[in-house]
A = this chain, B = another copy of it.
Amino acid sequence: MATHKLLLLPGDGIGTEVMAEVKRLIDWLNSAGIAKFETEDGLVGGASYDADKVAITDATMAKAHASDAVIFGAVGGPKWDGVPYDARPEAGLLRLRKDLGLFANLRPAVCYPALADASSLKREVVEGLDIMIVRELTGGVYFGEPKTITDLGNGQKRAVDTQLYETYEIDRIARVAFDLARKRRNKVTSMEKRNVMKTGLLWNEVVTAVHKADYADVALEHQLADSGGMNLVKWPKQFDVIVTDNLFGDILSDIAAMLTGSLGMLPSASLGAVDAKTGKRKSMYEPVHGSAPDIAGKGLANPVAMLASFGMALRYSLDMGDLADKLDQAIAAVLAKGLRTADIKSEGTTVVSTSQMGEAILKEM
């Protein structure tokens, strides 16, 4: 049996609590002889700042490079509002993405039927919803230079961020989207603001070219990011795979997640390029939700998004698709039994704590 090396980075807030449920699952898989995981723990975000005055240490980065997959909780919180910009909690997450080359962020927005009523949208609009948002994760305004604040004197400052994309960056993320669409409902919607942004113009051009050259069998549609956002709210079921840049992806994937009413349930995967020599790719898995400092430490957090993120790791990085299926089934079964954490409770369901939810899912497996 192959040994898989995992780096666990719980981070801040509810990150620690939901990661504990992943550890419980890993321990059981190890002891039951179902799989063989070697895990290491590391600090990231505010937790790392408190210990080492940086959002992630070089030592932890080295462990990330050496692992088969990074499992990431969440970072940030008001406690670190005053820390220097380069050491803010988010900087740890951004360094992981950039240094590991995780350019493809896969964010499924799925509406669990049992939770459709938790959505602020009408049941018929979201029931059965299953979208995959493919967000570019290592380019755009997140990393473009210059990125500065200049003092102009007279109480005036000038702040600059640079939105930058090169052809190869758009080309590779487009391919990820088209490949995924082929395994789904065969449709890709690309979103940008080509009517205002040069990066949008290039984005549109490259996606169109990749489609024409290698994916003519997949349906391709272009929407402006503002109308795309409207369409997400109006009738999200029109979408299958959405591919968009780092900043639009940040906003639109959060909105799509919220539409489903299942925010506490949604996982994500961040993938690098496949290494030609090893056939492997760097990867990181994290829940879509954040560190939720307001409910941290109270056993209120929903561990499903974190567990489902571990499930994506099994599927995309560790070649254990069957085990991932079993985990997904266990999650569905526990929901069907009416167990709910507080964020998704409704009439007639039983509210349980973070660890009770984790245990119930484990028992089901």
Kindly list chain B residues whose C-beta atoms are within 8 Å of the C-beta of A167: 152, 155-158
Given contacts A120-B122, A149-B201, A234-B258, contact A162 B159 (CB under 8 A): no
- Are A160 and B257 in touch, CB under 8 angstroms? no
Given contacts A88-B195, A196-B94, A196-B142, contact A158 B166 (CB under 8 A): yes
Kindly list chain B residues whose C-beta atoms are within 8 Å of the C-beta of A156: 166-168
A76 to B46, CA, bound (A): 47
Given contacts A233-B259, A251-B226, contact A164 B159 (CB under 8 A): yes
Kindly list chain B residues whose C-beta atoms are within 8 Å of the C-beta of A162: 160-163
- Are A159 and B152 in touch, CB under 8 angstroms? no
Given contacts A94-B196, A120-B122, A141-B197, contact A230 B255 (CB under 8 A): yes
- Are B230 and A257 in touch, CB under 8 angstroms? yes
Tell me whether A250 is interfacial, beta carbon within 8 Å. Answer: yes
Contact string against B for A residues 180-213, beta-carbon threshold 8 Å, 1 for contact and 0 otherwise = 0000000000000101111101110000000000
- Are A199 and B159 in touch, CB under 8 angstroms? yes
In the complex, what residue of chain B is closest to A257 when comparing beta carbons?
B230
Shortest Cβ gap from A204 to chain B (Å): 10
A234 to B161, CA, bound (A): 30
- Are A235 and B120 in touch, CB under 8 angstroms? yes
Kindly list chain B residues whose C-beta atoms are within 8 Å of the C-beta of A199: 159-161
Size category of the binding interface on chain A: 35 or more
A125 to B290, CA, bound (A): 24
Tell me whether A3 is interfacial, beta carbon within 8 Å. Answer: no
A interface residue numbers (CB < 8 A to B): 76, 85, 88, 90, 94, 120-122, 125, 141-142, 144, 147-149, 152, 155-168, 193, 195-199, 201-203, 225-227, 229-230, 232-235, 247-248, 250-252, 254-255, 257-259, 263, 290
Kindly list chain B residues whose C-beta atoms are within 8 Å of the C-beta of A225: 250-251
Shortest Cβ gap from A239 to chain B (Å): 14
Kindly list chain B residues whose C-beta atoms are within 8 Å of the C-beta of A232: 255
- Are B251 and A161 in touch, CB under 8 angstroms? no
| Of B88, B90, B160, B254, the contact of A230 (CB 8 Å cutoff) | B254
In the complex, what residue of chain B is closest to A148 when comparing beta carbons?
B198
A221 to B30, CA, bound (A): 47
20 inter-chain pairs at a CB distance below 8 angstroms, sorted by A residue, are A76-B195, A90-B195, A94-B196, A120-B125, A120-B235, A121-B233, A141-B163, A141-B196, A156-B167, A158-B167, A159-B197, A159-B198, A161-B163, A161-B199, A226-B250, A230-B257, A232-B255, A233-B255, A233-B259, A247-B247
A160 to B197, CA, bound (A): 8
A292 to B218, CA, bound (A): 26
Shortest Cβ gap from A148 to chain B (Å): 6
Shortest Cβ gap from A61 to chain B (Å): 19
A235 to B258, CA, bound (A): 11
- Are A157 and B202 in touch, CB under 8 angstroms? yes
Kindly list chain B residues whose C-beta atoms are within 8 Å of the C-beta of A165: 158-159
A201 to B83, CA, bound (A): 13
In the complex, what residue of chain B is closest to A124 when comparing beta carbons?
B120
Kindly list chain B residues whose C-beta atoms are within 8 Å of the C-beta of A197: 141, 147, 159, 161
A234 to B254, CA, bound (A): 11
A267 to B162, CA, bound (A): 32
